[in-house]
């Protein structure tokens, strides 16, 4: 199981999980973020169980882990320019 041939699946997983990520300016961001995090956790656990049979699901979820890291980093870093 190599990472190189499955890089396209990781990229697709990143884009899909990024598309369903909660928006920071939403009214219930905390609730939606918790649901997003739980869904990713259950997806990672489920895909790890079938990793030897169907590795595409695992690599798709790895893309989701990268998207989760991006969402967390995006919400932590705020750049403001004052005049």
* 83, part of any domain: no
Please state the domain count of the chain.
1
Model pLDDT, residue 3:
67
Model pLDDT, residue 53:
79
Domain that holds residue 18: 7-76
User: Is the separation of the CB atoms in 59 and 5 below 8 Å?
Assistant: no
Over the chain (83 residues), the average pLDDT of each successive run of 10 is 79 89 82 87 82 81 89 79 79
* 54, part of any domain: yes
* 21, part of any domain: yes
* 82, part of any domain: no
pTM of the model: 0.77
Among 73, 16, 42, CA closest to 8: 16
* 81, part of any domain: no
């Amino acid at each position: 199981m190599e990472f190189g041939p499955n890089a396209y699946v990781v990229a697709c997983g990143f884009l899909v999980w990024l598309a369903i990520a909660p928006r920071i300016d939403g009214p219930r961001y905390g609730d939606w973020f918790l649901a997003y995090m739980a869904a990713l956790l259950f997806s990672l656990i489920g895909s790890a169980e079938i990793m030897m049979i169907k590795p595409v699901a695992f690599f798709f979820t790895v893309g989701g882990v990268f998207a989760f890291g991006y969402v967390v980093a995006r919400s932590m870093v705020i750049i403001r320019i004052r005049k």
